[in-house]
Amino acid sequence: MILSSKQLKKIAQEKIFRFFGGIKPKEMKDTTDSIIEELKIPSLICLPIERHLGGDGELLVNVGDHVKRGQKLTQPNEKSRLVPVHASTSGTVSSISKEILPHPSGYTGLCITIKPDGFDEAVDASPIADWENQDRELLLARIKDFGVEGMGGAQFQTEAKLSSAVRANPESTNILIINGCECEPAITCDDRLMQEKATDIALGIKILKKILNPKITIVAIEDNKKKAIAAMTQALSDIASIRILPTKYPTGAARNVIKAVTGIEIPYKAHTSEAGIVINNVATVLSIKEAIVDGIPVTSRVVTVTGDSLRRKANIRVRLGTSVRFLLSNLGLNPEYHQRIILGGPMMGFTLPTIDVPITKSNSCVLAPTIEQIPRLKESSNCIRCGRCARVCPSRLVPYQMYSQSKAHNHAACQKAGIFDCSLCGACSYVCPSFIPLTAQFRYEKAVEKHIYDAEVRNARAKQRMLDKELRLKKEEEERQLRKQKALEKIKAQKEAEAKMTPEELAKAKAKALEEAKLLAKQRKEAMLAGKKTEEMSSNDSEKERLEKLKLSKMRAKEIAMHQGR
């Protein structure tokens, strides 16, 4: 989709548009003035790797290997859009096993656990010199190889998003939007990044402009971030225009930001890149700058840690894989009875089943509230059909209809009601006078729908395999009948020829056929013996390689033991 010059001119006039619905909850941004601190290295690092490995990726380390900060631990398939994961500190790989992941269900996934050695040795940085004159393919490859993903919460692969936009609009993208709204209550990590790293973010925007060549570049910030607006205005004087949006939740959602700054509504079944619009979070832009200019992979992120159950609230740069327990213990958690720990903000976050889960790229906040700060949900009652949820839904859905269909396990009707268009913003649950847990039910329904979809895909593949098998068997039967017919014709022709031969000629023909059969049998036997010898040689070679690898690993273990004993 190519926007007309009239549309682009209208967008460039800096008019602010309104999106449907939305609410104005209490902001709770107590850490706006808290400078970003560096958290010390934890005693264990646990890095989830399933979304960085894929179905046919390669694991590059084994238990007992010594790794450095920034070292690549996984290598996804080249055709996959997945990005590798990197070690967030130096140490020894202590295990590769299933661990509990940060999810409401508390399910487990494959993780690499690293025992830090305390030295925090890093691989050599590899910045791209003179990146302004490099091809965008090189820049995109670096963004992917250094593990840059969406840091705003979705954790979508940044290289895949940018490549999709480049394929849709090879010459020039219409609009590049940098999302600095951070509308979720309590979270201030992006606010602090804009205050402290405005120059670096500006350099990241330049890199994105080099890749996308946008016609208009906009940085969207809510009007409750005065210091961030001042810092970004000074840093972006000739790079991008700043749009100050009214504070309203959920302005920070991608489609709502696009609507607010351009007036364009992107259908939920379409990608924003199809309209020539690319949107990236400020933390993601900073990671792009660090990957290309500094040559540093993504090994940490800034997390807001807040809540009245903590002695101290802060914005902290945390190594990826650090446990939530370690993070809270360093800020003085004073737990109350049945203490809740929420991963994410109070609107879109969820209560953790255990605090022994790692921080990942998508986690921007850890909230430890008291009952007075965020009261527990009251017991829900029946829906009174007041329509408040429908009035505040930014996706123009009717949440109480989706809820009733989901509770009745009517998944097809729930899909028609628009469950896939729901962004799980939590606005409907916030205004519900019956205290119905709408968002929690929708999160569950989305998981069920995904499970159903995966089952349908597996069934379709199984059905296709059966059809392919039937076709193959049919083809083999046809070929078998054809060979049989040819053999019968050959036998018939041979008998006719033998009938015309004299006894001496017949005896010679049979002797010749016997010699040819013996020669063919001998050749087959020699080929079989040669194959067996090759297999034996390859097995001997593999055994030698295994013993050599074992010897090297023992030597490496001794070196590590000597290194740690100093």
The H-assigned helical ranges of 80-187 are 136-145, 158-168
Residue 213 to residues 165, 172, 175, 209, 562, Cα–Cα distance (Å) = 11, 5, 9, 5, 53
* Model confidence pLDDT, tens digit, residues 474-517: 999 999 999 999 989 988 888 888 788 888 888 888 888 888 88
| 147: its two tokens | 């593990």
* Model confidence pLDDT, tens digit, residues 44-97: 999 998 876 666 678 899 999 999 999 999 988 877 888 899 999 999 999 999
Residue 377 near residue 435 (C-beta atoms within 8 A): yes
pLDDT at position 151 over 90: no
Distance CA 226, CA 494 (A): 99
Please name the residues in contact with 413: beta carbons below 8 A apart, sequence gap of 6 or more: 405
pLDDT at position 1 over 60: no
> Would you state the pLDDT for residue 518?
87
Distance CA 541, CA 208 (A): 50
| pLDDT classification of 207: cutoffs 50, 70, 90 | very high
Q: 155-191 burial by CB neighbour count: b if 16+ within 10 A, else e?
A: bebbbbbbbbbbebbeeebbbbbbbbbbbbbbbbbbb
Mean per-residue pLDDT of the chain: 88
Distance CA 438, CA 129 (A): 51
> Would you state the pLDDT for residue 565?
47
pLDDT at position 566 over 50: no
pLDDT at position 246 over 90: yes
Tell me the average pLDDT across 342-355. Answer: 90
CA angle, 92 then 93 then 95, to 5°? 140
Distance CA 113, CA 46 (A): 4
> Would you state the pLDDT for residue 547?
72
Higher pLDDT, 404 or 562: 404
The DSSP code for 294 is I
How many C-beta atoms surround the C-beta of residue 483 within 10 A?
A: 10
* Model confidence pLDDT, tens digit, residues 155-174: 788 888 898 888 888 888 88
Please return the burial class of 331, using the count of CB atoms within 10 Å of its CB with bins 0-12, 13-18 and 19+.
buried
CA angle, 496 then 497 then 499, to 5°? 65
Residue 397 near residue 422 (C-beta atoms within 8 A): yes
* Model confidence pLDDT, tens digit, residues 217-236: 999 999 999 999 999 999 98
pLDDT at position 104 over 70: yes
* 3-class state of residue 493 by DSSP: helix
> Would you state the pLDDT for residue 553?
67
